[in-house]
Structure 1
């Protein structure tokens, strides 16, 4: 696995995902983070999740890896060297309660194994990514399908926002938002992360 220093995430970056959860469509990127110990590889093994904290929803995302420090003037291809597919798992019931109280989402977003990641591969450039759909298969059925053309905030805007507030460095990764189709996982589910027809990673769900 490549070096990972910080995990930053973008919320509600696909309009249809915001709408499916009854959330307002944001006018600027919604930023949050996960602890690095939440990161786990989709390498075909069984991954354990808490079974006593309500529904856990899968949120498939493209993950970008920052390969060098971001200056004021940059192009995406200058600073992103690799990409991967990932899943931002969310304890949805806990998140809803936290949102009602105006509390941070960390307990619902940062639990162990909540940041799934595939192997990284060379970043092909933004225009090349627009030609590829990414998808999540649950027990062989496609439940999420996305394309970066549907993002409200593109890679450059996301990088600028994260860099402004946090100062991006080499080794930071960004989960760039999830398309519609999020939903709960069940014990025994098999999850596949797909890049067009190419499987980039898979795992089996174990609820403890």
Structure 2
């Protein structure tokens, strides 16, 4: 399935908002990445600029839509897959843009900044109990579950559907838990979904 839109949710885990000193929003906070940002696969080397400040990882669950959203739609009729992903961020550039009240696009939408592992079947009844982790060079850095999200998946889909539209081929990054941090050249980032491997990415920083 071709990817059409990549939507991301900011500050959807309270502890992550706190670690960056950000205010928790009253409604879902959405931003997007261009399709050029997508890097999909079970094992990839990702190439990022090393001359634009630190690059931070943000592990997330990603859902893939198979049908157009409509008011009252059941998630099982809309979503056909879930994967672990990483929303990469140029942190200093993002902070500068936030200070200027400019959009975050250049800090969030650079090539390969939306890394996504293999998709698994979406099971609505088990969604809340899903767990995901990110290890950096073998060390656990992030661990999260939808039960800790500020806004539920149904709320996120409804908000995005009403305000932006959601349809077949769209991806939704659902937010990151606490523990985000910088990457270095040569780092290995390994994702797990309910204890099983869900994508391994090696970082290459270029000048």
Aligned-pair distance for 1:44? 2.3
Matched with 1:134 is: 132
Aligned-pair distance for 1:74? 1.4
Residues 159-178 of structure 1: pairs in structure 2 closer than 5 A: 159-178=157-176
Q: Deviations 1:143-200 (Å, cap 9, x if unpaired)?
A: 0000000000011110011111111111111001000000000111111011132111
Runs (5+) with no aligned partner, structure 2: none
Q: Does 2:200 align with 1:202?
A: yes
Runs (5+) with no aligned partner, structure 1: none
- 2:51, 2:160 → 1: CA distance? 33
- 1:198, 1:112 → 2: CA distance? 27
Q: Give the secondary-structure state (helix, strand or coil) at the position aligned to 2:53.
A: coil
Q: Deviations 1:25-79 (Å, cap 9, x if unpaired)?
A: 1110001000001001243232111100001110001111111111111122221
Q: Give the secondary-structure state (helix, strand or coil) at the position aligned to 1:130.
A: helix
Residues 179-190 of structure 1: pairs in structure 2 closer than 5 A: 179-190=177-188
Q: Give the secondary-structure state (helix, strand or coil) at the position aligned to 2:169.
A: coil
Structure 1 stretches of 4+ moved >6 Å:
none
- 1:132, 1:177 → 2: CA distance? 14
Q: TM-score, normalised by structure 1?
A: 0.96
- 2:59, 2:82 → 1: CA distance? 14
- 1:3, 1:63 → 2: CA distance? 15
Q: Does 2:6 align with 1:7?
A: yes
Aligned-pair distance for 1:85? 0.9
- 1:142, 1:124 → 2: CA distance? 26
Q: Give the secondary-structure state (helix, strand or coil) at the position aligned to 2:129.
A: coil
Q: Does 2:60 align with 1:48?
A: no
- 2:127, 2:153 → 1: CA distance? 11
C-alpha contact 2:129 2:146 (8 A) present in aligned 1: no
C-alpha contact 2:185 2:205 (8 A) present in aligned 1: yes
Residues 1-208 of structure 1: pairs in structure 2 closer than 5 A: 2-125=1-124, 127-208=125-206
For the aligned residue pairs, the C-alpha RMSD in angstroms reads 1.0
